[in-house]
Structure 1
Amino acid sequence: MSDLKSLYEGLQRAFYSKPSSDLKTCVALLAQLKVSELDSACQEADRRVMPLSAASKAVSDRPHAGDILEIGALTSIRTRDVPSFDRYFSQLQTFYTDYGSNLPPSKREYPIRGLNLIRLLTQNRIADFHTTLESLPADIIADNPFIRHPVNLERWLMEGSYSKVWNAREEAPAEEYKFFIDSLMGTIRNEIATCEEAAYESLPLRDAVTLLFFTNQSDLISFAQQRGWQIDITAGLVKFSQKGEEQMEIPKQKLIAASLLYARELEQIV
């Protein structure tokens, strides 16, 4: 226990260090703490090895376990490790739901729950998003800014209001939310780019920057190169891959003949 306390104190110092967290040290200390083992009491309760009341006491005797898991979840987002965040959140679920009444409330609970909701959106897991949302109290959904933010994002995505999704980045209730919003915007950009390729042969660079929600022309040029677009700086145009050769010629005469045949047969029936 003394080693655990020492590691935990070191983790706190690294996570709360100024001006920014020492993420490398956090990751190393989290590995040493072996967070999964700290949740053994919860696992035992799930296996019915001990009664729920006894498991709750075992969890409450480890007051730092939930805090370690929360630091791990936030560190995962800051290091862009989404699978790791998923694992930490799965363990935190037990603390938030099964043993919530036996532990002091955590100020990080709803920020982390909100991050999980946005993660589900970025993975296009809409059914899971709504199932998770339904497990929360109605007043929390309506009033808590950390939950209301992903709820608004989901509504704007369904409406196709991509500009509102883009603007939501600056309104994020926590810095970690911006990582997932950037991921969402990457998906949205690819969808818009596919539509542009089908609808236009070329676009002015200025318009393409605006339509794809870039803040500068250099970002657009990098994106265009990834999609195989041609950039004409002199003319100020982005030219999409020509697909005219792939277009199939419409057999006009055959269509007209077929339509007349159908019309004659209909007259005979009448």
Structure 2
Amino acid sequence: MSIDIVIQRIRECCQQSDPSASECAQLLADLKIGLTRLQSTLHSNTQKNLELAREGYELATLLSVRLRDESAFEKYIALLRPYYFDYPLPSSPRRYLILGLYLLFLLIKSRIGDFHIALELLPCHSDPFIKFSLDLERDMTEGRYNKIWHARQTIPDPSYSFFVEMLTIAVCKDIAKCMECSYNSIGVQEAVNLLHFSSAQQLESFIRENGFNWVIENQRINFHPERESPILTLDAHQLIHQNLVYAHEIERII
């Protein structure tokens, strides 16, 4: 199968509502073989071949998002970098869509340093795709979590749905950990509101799926059902001795 046909079929898979995972995996394997053969030819660095390889990697990147394959997504981003930043090619219409996705991916993984390094490489921060991810990073930094949930209604492209969903889950986990550290117990409905869930059943599923050791009794969540208050014991003689030593040393310094 020629590389042009493979790319066309991958393009069709990207447009399907529910692409077949096995078919996509085979197409991505065929793409890898086709691009390897293309790059091994004597004239592989012609503009036509470079643009063809770039489109192949772009479609593979978008398809990996459709398949919810994070490791494949990051791999194809790495393969795309030379085509975006090194080769003198005309700008791709998919460039900022994909780079905006990559910024969102870094934000989900809490790789904030890499996020800002990637951002510095971009000449335009006002592009809608880049601005979307940049605004989410600012909302996360400033604790404006309500805007994270609202972002699901304002995504700039359907391909962003997967990562935005992951981001909202990460925010829920952060809020849950803060609740656990701040309270001994809290009302179920109050927890549902704080985590932006639609029902107590959704809250129970969240607790179960994330392994939180919480107990629900009488419409309240007990965060530490088995934890006893620690008993602190102080050795008075040791403290007095240590304070006298400090006082003696201060006198010597003076």
Verify same fold: TM over 0.5: yes
Structure with the larger RCO, 1 or 2 (CA within 8 Å, 6+ apart)? 2
2:156 is the counterpart of 1:173 = yes
Q: 1:179 and 1:40, CA in 2 relative to 1: closer, same or farther beyond 3 A?
A: same
How many Å separate the matches in 1 of 2:89 and 2:184? 63
Distance 2:188 2:109 in 1: 30
Q: Classify the secondary structure of the residue corresponding to 1:107.
A: coil
1:208 aligns with 2:191: yes
Structure 1 residue 228 and structure 2 residue 213: aligned? yes
Please state if 1:65 is matched with 2:74.
no
Cα deviation per residue 1:133-190 (whole Å; 9 max; x = unaligned)? 11111xx20x211001111111111112222222222222122223222222333222
- Native 8 Å contact 2:83 2:89 kept in 1: no
Q: How does 1:68-79 map to 2 (within 5 A)?
A: 68-79=56-67
Q: Secondary structure at 2:221's aligned position in 1?
A: strand
1:10 aligns with 2:4: no
TM-score, L = length of structure 1: 0.77
Q: How far apart are the structure 2 equivalents of 1:244 and 1:202?
A: 12
1:203 match: secondary structure: strand
Superimposed CA distance per residue, residues 107-128 of structure 1 (whole angstroms, 9 cap, x where no aligned partner): 2111100111111111211111
Aligned to 1:90: 78
Give the 5 Å matches for 1:242-257.
242=225, 244-249=227-232, 254=236
Distance 2:62 2:180 in 1: 38
Paired residue secondary structure (1:182): helix
For 1:249 and 1:9, locate their aligned partners in 2 and report how far apart those are by CA, in whole Å: 69
The question of 1:131 aligning with 2:117 is answered yes
1:119 counterpart residue number: 105
Question: Residue in 2 aligned with 1:81?
Answer: 69
User: How much identity, in percent, do the aligned residues show?
Assistant: 31
Aligned residue for 2:152, secondary structure, equals coil
The answer to whether the Cα contact below 8 Å between 2:38 and 2:49 also exists between their aligned partners in 1 is no
